[in-house]
Structure 1
Protein backbone atom coordinates (compact mmCIF):
# COMPACT_ATOMS: atom_id res chain seq x y z
CA UNK A 1 0.00 0.00 0.00
CA UNK A 2 1.35 3.41 -0.79
CA UNK A 3 0.90 6.45 1.39
CA UNK A 4 1.78 9.96 0.52
CA UNK A 5 2.52 13.01 2.60
CA UNK A 6 2.49 15.16 -0.49
CA UNK A 7 0.98 14.47 -3.85
CA UNK A 8 4.34 13.79 -5.58
CA UNK A 9 6.02 11.65 -2.81
CA UNK A 10 5.17 7.95 -2.77
CA UNK A 11 6.36 5.48 -0.08
CA UNK A 12 6.55 1.90 -1.27
CA UNK A 13 6.78 -1.15 0.99
CA UNK A 14 7.32 -4.79 0.11
CA UNK A 15 4.58 -7.17 1.20
CA UNK A 16 6.30 -10.19 2.85
CA UNK A 17 3.13 -12.00 3.93
CA UNK A 18 3.03 -14.36 0.90
CA UNK A 19 6.71 -15.21 1.42
CA UNK A 20 6.11 -16.07 5.07
CA UNK A 21 3.09 -18.19 4.12
CA UNK A 22 5.10 -20.20 1.60
CA UNK A 23 7.95 -20.73 4.08
CA UNK A 24 5.56 -21.98 6.76
CA UNK A 25 3.93 -24.42 4.34
CA UNK A 26 7.36 -25.75 3.34
CA UNK A 27 8.34 -26.11 7.00
CA UNK A 28 5.23 -28.16 7.72
CA UNK A 29 5.87 -30.35 4.67
CA UNK A 30 9.44 -31.06 5.79
CA UNK A 31 8.39 -31.78 9.37
CA UNK A 32 5.78 -34.28 8.18
CA UNK A 33 7.90 -36.06 5.56
CA UNK A 34 11.29 -36.25 7.31
CA UNK A 35 10.40 -39.12 9.71
CA UNK A 36 8.93 -41.14 6.84
CA UNK A 37 12.26 -41.17 4.99
CA UNK A 38 14.19 -42.96 7.76
CA UNK A 39 12.07 -46.11 8.26
CA UNK A 40 11.18 -49.24 6.30
CA UNK A 41 14.40 -49.76 4.38
CA UNK A 42 14.71 -53.39 3.25
CA UNK A 43 18.21 -54.72 3.98
CA UNK A 44 20.06 -57.98 3.57
CA UNK A 45 23.09 -58.19 5.82
CA UNK A 46 26.04 -58.83 6.55
CA UNK A 47 28.27 -58.75 3.41
CA UNK A 48 30.56 -55.70 3.07
CA UNK A 49 33.66 -54.47 1.29
CA UNK A 50 34.90 -52.40 4.23
CA UNK A 51 38.00 -53.51 6.06
CA UNK A 52 38.82 -52.26 9.53
CA UNK A 53 42.39 -51.24 10.31
CA UNK A 54 44.29 -53.58 12.62
CA UNK A 55 44.12 -52.71 16.29
CA UNK A 56 47.06 -52.78 18.68
CA UNK A 57 45.11 -54.48 21.50
CA UNK A 58 43.99 -58.10 21.23
CA UNK A 59 40.20 -57.97 20.77
CA UNK A 60 37.62 -59.95 22.70
CA UNK A 61 35.68 -61.99 20.14
CA UNK A 62 32.02 -62.60 21.01
CA UNK A 63 30.22 -65.02 18.67
CA UNK A 64 26.56 -65.93 18.32
CA UNK A 65 25.95 -69.12 16.36
CA UNK A 66 22.87 -70.03 14.34
CA UNK A 67 21.28 -71.75 17.38
CA UNK A 68 21.65 -68.58 19.48
CA UNK A 69 24.49 -69.85 21.68
CA UNK A 70 27.01 -67.29 22.93
CA UNK A 71 30.78 -67.74 22.80
CA UNK A 72 33.84 -65.78 23.90
CA UNK A 73 36.99 -66.84 22.09
CA UNK A 74 35.45 -70.26 21.23
CA UNK A 75 34.25 -70.86 24.83
CA UNK A 76 30.47 -71.33 25.15
CA UNK A 77 28.90 -69.20 27.90
CA UNK A 78 25.45 -68.26 29.12
CA UNK A 79 24.30 -64.68 28.60
CA UNK A 80 24.97 -63.80 32.25
CA UNK A 81 28.45 -65.36 32.18
CA UNK A 82 29.11 -63.53 28.93
CA UNK A 83 28.44 -60.20 30.65
CA UNK A 84 30.74 -61.05 33.56
CA UNK A 85 33.57 -62.17 31.26
CA UNK A 86 33.31 -59.05 29.09
CA UNK A 87 33.22 -56.82 32.16
CA UNK A 88 36.34 -58.50 33.54
CA UNK A 89 38.19 -58.16 30.22
CA UNK A 90 37.13 -54.51 29.97
CA UNK A 91 38.43 -53.77 33.47
CA UNK A 92 41.83 -55.25 32.55
CA UNK A 93 42.15 -53.13 29.39
CA UNK A 94 39.63 -50.35 28.68
CA UNK A 95 41.05 -49.79 25.16
CA UNK A 96 40.27 -53.36 24.14
CA UNK A 97 37.78 -53.73 21.31
CA UNK A 98 34.95 -56.25 21.50
CA UNK A 99 34.29 -57.89 18.14
CA UNK A 100 30.78 -59.25 17.66
CA UNK A 101 30.38 -62.05 15.12
CA UNK A 102 26.91 -63.41 14.47
CA UNK A 103 25.60 -65.97 12.02
CA UNK A 104 23.39 -64.28 9.45
CA UNK A 105 20.59 -66.77 10.16
CA UNK A 106 20.47 -66.12 13.92
CA UNK A 107 17.39 -64.42 15.36
CA UNK A 108 18.14 -60.70 15.63
CA UNK A 109 16.93 -60.60 19.24
CA UNK A 110 19.87 -62.78 20.27
CA UNK A 111 22.32 -60.34 18.69
CA UNK A 112 20.53 -57.40 20.34
CA UNK A 113 20.79 -59.11 23.74
CA UNK A 114 24.52 -59.67 23.23
CA UNK A 115 24.97 -56.01 22.29
CA UNK A 116 23.05 -54.92 25.39
CA UNK A 117 25.23 -57.11 27.63
CA UNK A 118 28.37 -55.69 26.00
CA UNK A 119 27.13 -52.15 26.58
CA UNK A 120 26.19 -52.88 30.20
CA UNK A 121 29.73 -54.15 30.77
CA UNK A 122 30.96 -50.64 29.99
CA UNK A 123 32.46 -51.36 26.58
CA UNK A 124 32.50 -48.35 24.27
CA UNK A 125 34.46 -49.89 21.39
CA UNK A 126 32.36 -52.51 19.57
CA UNK A 127 33.09 -53.84 16.10
CA UNK A 128 30.51 -55.88 14.21
CA UNK A 129 32.34 -58.35 12.00
CA UNK A 130 30.96 -59.20 8.57
CA UNK A 131 32.17 -61.41 5.75
CA UNK A 132 33.70 -59.80 2.68
CA UNK A 133 32.06 -60.29 -0.70
CA UNK A 134 33.83 -62.53 -3.15
Structure 2
Protein backbone atom coordinates (compact mmCIF):
# COMPACT_ATOMS: atom_id res chain seq x y z
CA UNK A 1 0.00 0.00 0.00
CA UNK A 2 1.56 3.17 -1.13
CA UNK A 3 0.75 6.58 0.23
CA UNK A 4 0.70 9.29 -2.32
CA UNK A 5 1.65 12.87 -1.59
CA UNK A 6 -1.73 14.13 -2.70
CA UNK A 7 -3.97 12.12 -0.36
CA UNK A 8 -6.81 13.96 1.46
CA UNK A 9 -5.34 13.03 4.85
CA UNK A 10 -2.33 15.27 4.22
CA UNK A 11 -4.35 18.41 3.51
CA UNK A 12 -4.18 21.10 6.17
CA UNK A 13 -7.55 22.07 7.57
CA UNK A 14 -7.77 25.85 7.48
CA UNK A 15 -11.12 26.17 9.32
CA UNK A 16 -11.54 26.58 13.07
CA UNK A 17 -13.94 24.21 14.72
CA UNK A 18 -16.36 26.50 16.62
CA UNK A 19 -18.22 23.81 18.57
CA UNK A 20 -15.65 23.44 21.40
CA UNK A 21 -15.40 27.23 21.69
CA UNK A 22 -19.18 27.58 22.05
CA UNK A 23 -19.24 24.77 24.62
CA UNK A 24 -16.56 26.46 26.72
CA UNK A 25 -18.35 29.81 26.56
CA UNK A 26 -21.66 28.27 27.66
CA UNK A 27 -19.97 26.54 30.59
CA UNK A 28 -18.34 29.83 31.64
CA UNK A 29 -21.68 31.62 31.37
CA UNK A 30 -23.36 29.04 33.60
CA UNK A 31 -20.53 29.29 36.14
CA UNK A 32 -20.86 33.08 36.28
CA UNK A 33 -24.64 32.85 36.61
CA UNK A 34 -24.30 30.50 39.56
CA UNK A 35 -21.51 32.35 41.38
CA UNK A 36 -22.75 35.98 41.03
CA UNK A 37 -25.65 35.70 43.50
CA UNK A 38 -23.30 34.12 46.02
CA UNK A 39 -20.83 37.01 45.66
CA UNK A 40 -23.47 39.73 46.06
CA UNK A 41 -25.00 38.41 49.29
CA UNK A 42 -23.91 40.22 52.41
CA UNK A 43 -21.87 38.55 55.07
CA UNK A 44 -23.41 38.39 58.53
CA UNK A 45 -21.00 39.87 61.03
CA UNK A 46 -21.69 40.20 64.73
CA UNK A 47 -20.34 43.62 65.63
CA UNK A 48 -18.93 44.40 69.06
CA UNK A 49 -20.84 46.60 71.49
CA UNK A 50 -19.46 50.08 72.17
CA UNK A 51 -19.83 51.69 75.58
CA UNK A 52 -19.21 55.25 74.38
CA UNK A 53 -21.95 57.43 72.92
CA UNK A 54 -21.66 58.60 69.32
CA UNK A 55 -19.78 61.85 68.84
CA UNK A 56 -22.59 63.55 66.93
CA UNK A 57 -26.11 63.04 68.19
CA UNK A 58 -28.75 63.09 65.49
CA UNK A 59 -31.67 65.41 66.20
CA UNK A 60 -35.08 63.83 66.62
CA UNK A 61 -37.65 63.97 63.90
CA UNK A 62 -40.62 66.30 64.14
CA UNK A 63 -44.07 65.03 63.19
CA UNK A 64 -46.23 67.51 61.31
CA UNK A 65 -49.79 66.34 60.68
CA UNK A 66 -52.25 67.94 58.26
CA UNK A 67 -55.85 66.97 59.06
CA UNK A 68 -58.80 66.74 56.65
CA UNK A 69 -59.93 70.29 57.33
CA UNK A 70 -56.42 71.71 56.78
CA UNK A 71 -55.47 72.22 60.43
CA UNK A 72 -51.83 71.57 61.24
CA UNK A 73 -50.50 69.68 64.27
CA UNK A 74 -46.87 69.97 65.43
CA UNK A 75 -46.10 66.80 67.41
CA UNK A 76 -49.82 66.45 68.28
CA UNK A 77 -50.14 70.13 69.25
CA UNK A 78 -52.46 72.39 67.25
CA UNK A 79 -50.55 75.30 65.66
CA UNK A 80 -51.56 78.29 63.58
CA UNK A 81 -49.86 79.28 60.34
CA UNK A 82 -47.76 81.91 62.17
CA UNK A 83 -46.70 79.43 64.87
CA UNK A 84 -45.81 76.86 62.19
CA UNK A 85 -43.65 79.39 60.39
CA UNK A 86 -41.91 80.40 63.63
CA UNK A 87 -41.18 76.78 64.62
CA UNK A 88 -39.94 75.88 61.15
CA UNK A 89 -37.68 78.94 61.26
CA UNK A 90 -36.21 77.67 64.56
CA UNK A 91 -35.60 74.23 63.03
CA UNK A 92 -33.93 75.80 59.99
CA UNK A 93 -31.62 77.88 62.22
CA UNK A 94 -30.19 74.81 63.98
CA UNK A 95 -26.81 73.54 62.76
CA UNK A 96 -28.12 69.95 62.65
CA UNK A 97 -31.68 70.19 61.45
CA UNK A 98 -34.25 67.72 62.67
CA UNK A 99 -36.02 65.83 59.91
CA UNK A 100 -39.66 66.65 59.33
CA UNK A 101 -42.12 63.77 59.02
CA UNK A 102 -45.19 65.02 57.15
CA UNK A 103 -48.38 63.04 57.74
CA UNK A 104 -51.34 64.17 55.68
CA UNK A 105 -54.85 62.77 55.72
CA UNK A 106 -55.70 61.15 52.39
CA UNK A 107 -58.83 63.31 52.10
CA UNK A 108 -57.04 66.65 52.70
CA UNK A 109 -56.81 69.12 49.85
CA UNK A 110 -53.38 69.14 48.26
CA UNK A 111 -53.16 72.90 48.78
CA UNK A 112 -52.78 72.49 52.56
CA UNK A 113 -49.96 69.98 52.21
CA UNK A 114 -48.28 72.11 49.56
CA UNK A 115 -48.35 75.13 51.89
CA UNK A 116 -46.39 73.25 54.58
CA UNK A 117 -43.93 71.86 52.01
CA UNK A 118 -43.34 75.26 50.39
CA UNK A 119 -42.80 76.93 53.76
CA UNK A 120 -40.23 74.32 54.76
CA UNK A 121 -38.43 74.71 51.43
CA UNK A 122 -38.39 78.51 51.64
CA UNK A 123 -36.82 78.37 55.10
CA UNK A 124 -34.09 75.98 53.92
CA UNK A 125 -35.15 72.76 55.62
CA UNK A 126 -33.57 69.92 53.70
CA UNK A 127 -35.04 66.81 55.27
CA UNK A 128 -38.75 66.35 54.68
CA UNK A 129 -40.25 62.88 54.61
CA UNK A 130 -43.77 61.63 53.94
CA UNK A 131 -45.33 59.07 56.27
CA UNK A 132 -47.65 56.55 54.62
CA UNK A 133 -49.20 53.24 55.52
CA UNK A 134 -48.01 50.05 53.83
CA UNK A 135 -50.35 48.66 51.20
CA UNK A 136 -51.01 45.51 53.25
CA UNK A 137 -52.35 47.57 56.16
CA UNK A 138 -54.60 49.62 53.88
CA UNK A 139 -55.96 46.51 52.16
CA UNK A 140 -56.78 44.79 55.46
CA UNK A 141 -58.76 47.81 56.70
CA UNK A 142 -61.21 47.67 53.76
TMscore range, shorter length: 0.5 to 0.7
Alignment partner of 2:103 out of 101, 104, 112:
101
How many pairs were matched up? 80
The structure, 1 or 2, with the larger RCO (C-alpha pairs under 8 Å, 6+ apart) is: 1
The SS at the match of 2:86 is helix
Superposed displacement of residue 93, structure 1: 4.5
Q: Larger % of helix: which?
A: 2
- Would you say 1:75 and 2:65 are equivalent positions? no
- Would you say 1:127 and 2:93 are equivalent positions? no
What runs of 5+ residues in structure 1 fail to find an aligned partner? 1-55
Cα separation, 1, equivalents of 2:114 and 2:69: 15
Cα separation, 1, equivalents of 2:64 and 2:131: 10
CA RMSD of aligned residues (A): 1.8
The SS at the match of 1:117 is helix
Cα separation, 1, equivalents of 2:97 and 2:70: 28
Q: Larger % of strand: which?
A: 1
Cα separation, 1, equivalents of 2:67 and 2:61: 19
Could you report, residue by residue, the CA deviation over 1:27-52 in whole angstroms, capped at 9, with x for unpaired residues? xxxxxxxxxxxxxxxxxxxxxxxxxx
TM-score by length of 1: 0.54
What runs of 5+ residues in structure 2 fail to find an aligned partner? 1-57, 137-142
